[in-house]
Amino acid sequence: MGHILKVQPVLKEKIWGGTKLRDVYGYDIPSDHTGEAWVISGHKSGDCPIVEGEYKGKTVSWMFENHRELFGNVEGDQFPLLVKIIDAKQDLSVQVHPDNEYAKIHENSLGKTESWYVLQADEGTDMVMGHYAKTKEEFIKDIEEDKYDELLNRFKIHKGDFFYIPAGTLHAICGGSLIYEAQQSSDITYRVYDYHRKDADGNERQLHVQQSIDVTNVPADIDQNKEFSQTILENGTKTRYVDSEFFKVDRYQLNGKNVIKNDEPFMMVSIIEGTGIFEGNEVKKGDHFVICSDQKEVTFDGDMEVMISTL
Ligand code: ZN
């Protein structure tokens, strides 16, 4: 039998956060402004502990360093992916992330391509993705003149939407969103616009305008592939949202018993709805696991919605 690691989320307070991480998933949040749960992470800014089994008390990064064989011996100096659940009660800043090349040179980090599955969206919730500038000059001019209403591409989102956000894509998650995020394991964010919000002392948050100009794709390239392929399972369906050079993201709608094969270096499993039995153990919404490469298949039984992200 192989290894399945149950991991515990690391919770992060954010000025834009709320209480849904407690209200929806039952997490013990530090305050009513909790914005992120890093639910599967080996990043130094939020390294998830393992809560059961022979490696109880160790962290994802420790496992990756000391038992690389459980992760298909993939190369790299850190666990490559990161899964978060984001509760945006208010708008996040308009931001962009660098690609691997820029991040390596300027930040000694991985770049950040990310993807979002919308778990919940309040009525009328927006998303910002991409922009209307045709040239870098036009892009810089709009930033200098503070013309963000004209510059930004803004639209409504709904539960069940999926978005792939390559590095270099200008974006903002807006208030009212509860989002599952699978991304490269990086914490590099360049903030270009924060709506001139001021903190209690009257100060605006730091911006990174030059870096944002350097790394933003102009013109924007956000041609989203909205046709997602579906596979019929024994007792459910699998939807594949993305298969990129950085990661794959699938959603499983399970109604009864299903055996899922693992031929990946590792699989990151998040139960996002329902309850059931996973490899003989009771699981519920808000539980997260890493299936190691030596566990060649897993059995789910119950009515559940499960996100599985892999390399
Ligand atoms: Zn982002």
Evaluated on CA atoms 21, 166, 118, 175, the torsion sign reads: positive
CA 70, CA 48: separation in Å to the nearest integer?
17
**What spacing in Å lies between the alpha carbon of 132 and ligand 1's midpoint?**
19
Name the β-bridge partners of 276. Answer: 283, 302
Of 22, 68, 191, 197, catalytic: 191
CA 101, CA 150: separation in Å to the nearest integer?
30
For tokens 């009328």, the residue is 124
* Residue numbers in the chain where pLDDT is lower than 70: 223-225
pLDDT at 311: 96
Tokens of 123: 């009525």
> Distances in Å between the alpha carbon of 9 and those of 4, 25, 29, 40, 107?
16, 11, 10, 7, 26
Query: Would you say 308 and 267 are in contact if contact means Cβ atoms under 8 Å apart?
Result: yes
**What spacing in Å lies between the alpha carbon of 70 and ligand 1's midpoint?**
29
**What spacing in Å lies between the alpha carbon of 171 and ligand 1's midpoint?**
7
**What spacing in Å lies between the alpha carbon of 2 and ligand 1's midpoint?**
34
pLDDT at 224: 61
Evaluated on CA atoms 164, 186, 109, 144, the torsion sign reads: positive
**What spacing in Å lies between the alpha carbon of 191 and ligand 1's midpoint?**
9
Cα-based angle 184, 117, 163 (whole degrees, multiple of 5): 75
Query: Would you say 35 and 25 are in contact if contact means Cβ atoms under 8 Å apart?
Result: no
Query: Would you say 288 and 7 are in contact if contact means Cβ atoms under 8 Å apart?
Result: yes
When computed from its CA atoms, the radius of gyration of the chain, rounded to whole angstroms, is 20
pLDDT at 222: 78
Taking phi first (over 0 means left), then psi (-120 to 50 degrees means alpha), and beta for anything else, what does residue 132 get? alpha
**What spacing in Å lies between the alpha carbon of 95 and ligand 1's midpoint?**
6
Enter the pTM of the model. Answer: 0.95
265 prior amide bond cis, ω within 30? no
CA 271, CA 94: separation in Å to the nearest integer?
29
Evaluated on CA atoms 253, 258, 264, 270, the torsion sign reads: positive
Residue in 39, 129, 86, 69 with CA at minimum distance from that of residue 265: 69
Query: Would you say 220 and 150 are in contact if contact means Cβ atoms under 8 Å apart?
Result: no
**What spacing in Å lies between the alpha carbon of 163 and ligand 1's midpoint?**
12
Tokens of 1: 């039998």
191 counts as catalytic:
yes
Exposed e or buried b per residue across 227-254, where buried means at least 16 C-beta atoms within 10 angstroms of its C-beta: eeeeeebebbebbebbeeebbbbbbbbb
Q: Other CB atoms closer than 10 Å to residue 26's CB: what's the count?
A: 11
